[in-house]
Structure 1
Amino acid sequence: MKALAQAEQKVAALSGPYQRLLDEDTHEVPAVLRLQHNPCLGTEDIPVRRYTSRAYHEREKERLWSRVWQFACREEHLPEPGDVVVYDIAGRSYLLVRQADGTIRGYVNACLHRGRRLRDYDGHCDGLVRCPFHGFAWRLDGNLADVPAGWDFPQLPDRDLTLPQVRVDSWAGFVFLNPDPGAGPLEEFLGGIIAHFADWDLGSAYVEVHVAKVIQANWKVAQEAFCEAYHVAGTHPQILPWQGDLLTQVDVWDNFARAITPGGVTSPHLTWVPSEEEMLRSMLDVRDGETSPITLRPGERMRAVAAELARTRWRPLAGDQVDRMSDAEMMDSIDYTVFPNFHPWGAFNRIVYRFRPNGDDHRSCIMEVLLLSPFRGQRPPPSPVRWLAADEPWSAEPRLSSLGKVFDQDTFNMANVQLGLETTLRSGVLLSEYQESKVRWLHRTLTEWIGE
């Protein structure tokens, strides 16, 4: 009990600096940023086999990906009846189909004749989902519509050839799929994160940018690179003058967790202390590639000035909503993770990540970055996904702006982490108690699903 009390005191001390920073905000801070929840998750190592073992990947397929709610697409990817999205996960394939009544259904993406995938790509089907192999076709509602040379299938009247459904539901414009017919409701699975995002209306945004890349590492290796700020000093030193990496507050609940890293404050890692103007110049140079012409008045804090610049930037699209947003909402990296692999960021960060196995390969994965933006008037169509080639950096996509260079730095580590895990003589991965507790949460929850 004494050790637990000491751990709780340590957690409270580590989250304190961020909460004190909120006390200095020029606007009212939303209650959701005042929440603190980080029970001690221990100091045990994470088994290396979780990243390297084919047997563990097979258990993930059986006990996780076939049973868990998972982000599949955005509602705007299916604007009209007959629109279809193909969602693949760990060697299995599903279809999401907009119905005539506006609802969305999910089906197993396999022809009930010879098993070929019914669809290989997203698009529109004009009322029928037709197999490209022999031409069997189904209506949008999953009922069999056409069998070429049907007279040669006398057994059909005795067979149920309705497309098997998978569960589908939506939250905040995100469409989720669950292959398990016995799964509980999505709302129950998401839990408290629904209330967290009540004032951050992601459902009213649109996908302005969508970029994907195959990473030569297990999906957890890639995802964990975005679960902590402990790596910032080693991987992103250019942002240390204005990014408070060691001031990150980490919170974990049941099916979701978050890490809030403050912007507009200097990293304690720096051996020198920049002035407020130097901090602003550094941020704008990294973000926009330009030197700041702004001169701060005596006593002005870079964090407040940069937050006001962000409000000015977004006001034409978001309106006076930005004037109600705190400096923290405009400046801080508020990275939520919904188990197992979905990262929606809070406030005006725009970023959404998804990490999933690359087909049935446990040593590679697909990393996706979506940028959600507010809009005026009619919703713009979502950006088509841009797939980066193996040798193409994230910075090759200009719409990612400065984020592209950051992602290049992140992904530079990933294949080397995988190779190191394949090579190491240690059986476990060493994690810090607090700064990497979001990674600990991920593995604690994996254990609950997979059993080991």
Structure 2
Amino acid sequence: MDNSKPGSARAEGPSVADTLQSDPSIDAPLLENSYAFLGDADIPAERYTSEAFFKQEMQQLWPNAWQWVCREEHLQDQGDNQVYDIGDYSVIVTRVDDNTIKAYLNSCTHRNTRLLGAEGSGYSQGFTCPFHGWSWHLDGSINNIPGRWDFPHVSEESHKLQEVNCEIWGGFVFINIDPDAKPLAQYLDVLPEHFSHFPLERRRIKLHVQKKLPCNWKAAQEAFMEAYHNFETHNSPNGANAQYDIFGDYVSRFIHNIGNYSPQSLSDYPGDKWRDPPLTEQQMLEMLAINDRVLEEGETARSVAAQMTRDNFKAELGVDLSNTSDSLILDSIEYHLFPNMFFFPGILIPMVYRFRPLGNDVDSCIFDLMIMEPLPEGAEHPEPPEPILLEVEQSYTEVEALGWLGAIYDEDTDNLQLQQQGFKTSRKGATLGNYQESRIRRVHLTLEKFLNL
């Protein structure tokens, strides 16, 4: 490879692809490698701090982008609904019948009063305006108009609830406020084909945590788009040789191996903790919190950890992972869907993320974290848990169900307020690595298209 070309340089040592190709059960999508150099100009700091830029996003991005609101299991019964807020916009998603889910603007068609209050889940046999009592059926048609004699100019067509585009993929319910939005399938790019190998509709929400973060929504999600920070933020060697893929304007991915790393890939990192001497396979087992197992001939830390996970899921959940690759079981595999959604198909790292502005504040956002657990064959989706809300000053470790991940998420988010403050101080923009931070650049290039920049 000619490392003199921008974006062509890679970490030394074996690559993620080398590890994946040695896995006999590897899924074909994980063997795809898709990267293109997208430029190296700084990202202006004002994109994270400017009220004017934030206003542009509110006017031109969020009303025109597909966003997931909830899971289908949030809407199991007729009349179940979910209110979703983004800036000044509010949308109601509801189950109309066994086969139909619809979405409406959360606004009365008489004098525009909000129909349902705070964001979250609820139930209603229809919708009634709390101001004058106009009401609608679940399908959006008018139910009753008090004093109908005074509204000869109102028709069923003109004053039904204002419908919003609503589609489903992978068990997630998506909305797009733009009446002329292109279909979700065109937006998803490679996701339907890739996730046909690891279907998200056969996952259940084990845990849902929401946390307020003291930074711009883009800064928050960008902290999760690269593994370059792992060495310093997490004191971990994993991810130095991560693979980054960009599949189009809307979809990107990274893959980094867990329980397997190359000391050569850390050759230009400070110190020698992870390089001299390199970790043995037995030490890698200890890194994976498997301290009471001695490797036998021919075994590796990855193969042992993967098999123990298969055995545990079979015993505890009745889920058969016998044909699941070591990579899908162990590795951090993260897909991003523009503007703010992350989907992890893995077993030990099975998260879904969403980052969005908190109200109309350029300096804060809300981070939704779901742990998605595989369902046994034939099992029905249980009722999803209510989200646990954490304030800015609270620690993820307060959520006992997160276990060891709580401290990791604290590490991931503890730098964000410092970064937001730094954006406001700096005389220059953010400089991105050509490869390791290419997914961040892809987001900004697509954002520019939405904002006509």
TM-score, normalized by the shorter chain, greater than 0.5: yes
Letter in 2 for 1:247: N
Deviation string, structure 1 residues 372-394 (Cα, Å, up to 9, x no partner):
11223332111111111232111
Say whether residues 1:422 and 2:431 are aligned partners.
no
Alpha-carbon distance between aligned partners in 2 of 1:317 and 1:185, rounded to the nearest angstrom: 40
SS state at 2:64 partner: coil
Change (3 A) 1:350 1:450: same
Report the CA distance between 1:411 and its aligned residue. Answer: 1.0
Give 1:288's aligned residue: none
Structure 2 SS opposite 1:257: strand
Distance 1:297 1:111, change over 3 A: same
- Paired with 1:373 and 1:156, the residues of 2 have a C-alpha distance of 48
SS at match of 1:115: coil
* CA–CA distance in structure 1, aligned partners of residues 396 and 70 of structure 2: 21
Matched position secondary structure for 1:46 = coil
Q: State the one-letter code of the partner of 1:141.
A: D
1:119 maps to 2:154: no
> How many angstroms apart in 2 are the aligned matches of 1:351 and 1:178?
23
- Distance (whole Å) between structure 2 residues aligned to residue 213 and residue 120 of structure 1: 20
**Which of 174, 184, 187 in structure 1 is aligned with 2:185?**
187
Helix, strand or coil at the partner of 2:158: coil
- Work out whether residues 213 and 366 of structure 2, in 8 Å CA contact, stay in contact via their aligned partners in 1: yes
In the alignment, does 2:50 pair up with 1:38? no
Q: Which residue of 2 aligns with 1:226?
A: 224
Q: 1-side partners of 2:184 and 2:13: how far apart?
A: 30
Tell me how far 1:145 sits from its aligned partner. Answer: 1.2
Deviation, 1:320, is 6.6
| Cα 1:389–1:5 shift into 2, 3 Å | closer
> Would you say the 8 A contact 1:259–1:334 is kept in 2?
yes
3-state SS of paired residue (1:99): strand
Q: Which amino acid aligns with 1:252?
A: I
Task: For residues 140-186 of structure 1, give each alpha carbon's deviation from its aligned partner in whole angstroms, at most 9, with x where no partner exists.
Answer: 11112123444555654598211111100000101110011111111
Residue equivalent to 1:260: 255
Residue of structure 1 equivalent to 2:279: 274
Q: Cα offset for 1:136?
A: 2.1
Distance 1:150 1:68 in 2: 37
TM-score w.r.t. structure 1 length? 0.91
Q: 1:139 to 1:158 in 2, by over 3 A?
A: closer
Q: Is the 8 A contact 1:81 1:102 kept in 2?
A: no
Checking the alignment, whether the CA contact within 8 Å between 2:102 and 2:163 is kept in structure 1 is: yes
- How has the CA–CA distance of structure 1 residues 347 and 410 changed in structure 2, closer, same or farther, with 3 Å as cutoff? closer
| One-letter identity of the residue aligned with 1:108 | L
Matching of residue 249 in structure 1 with residue 249 in structure 2:
no
Shift of 1:297: 1.7
RMSD across aligned positions (CA): 2.2
Partner of 2:444: 443
| Matched residue, 1:325 | 324
Larger displacement relative to structure 2 (313-322 or 106-115):
313-322
Moved more, 358-367 or 16-25: 16-25
**Amino acid in the other structure paired with 1:38:** Y
Q: Distance in 1 between matches of 2:420 and 2:363?
A: 8
1:79 aligned to 67, 70, 76, which one? 76
- The structure in which a higher percent of residues are helix is 1
1:163/1:303 CA distance change after superposition, 3 Å: same
Q: Does the 8 Å CA contact 1:97/1:104 hold for their aligned counterparts?
A: yes
User: Is the CA contact (8 Å cut-off) linking 2:353 and 2:368 kept in structure 1?
Assistant: yes
Superposed counterparts of 1:99-248, under 5 Å = 99-121=96-118, 122-151=120-149, 153=151, 155-156=153-154, 160-237=158-235, 239-240=236-237, 243=238, 245-248=239-242
What percent identity do the matched residue pairs reach?
35
Task: Give the counterpart letter for 2:421 in structure 1.
Answer: L
TM (norm. structure 2) is 0.91
Contact 2:335 2:343 in 1 (8 A): yes
CA shift for structure 1 position 309:
1.4
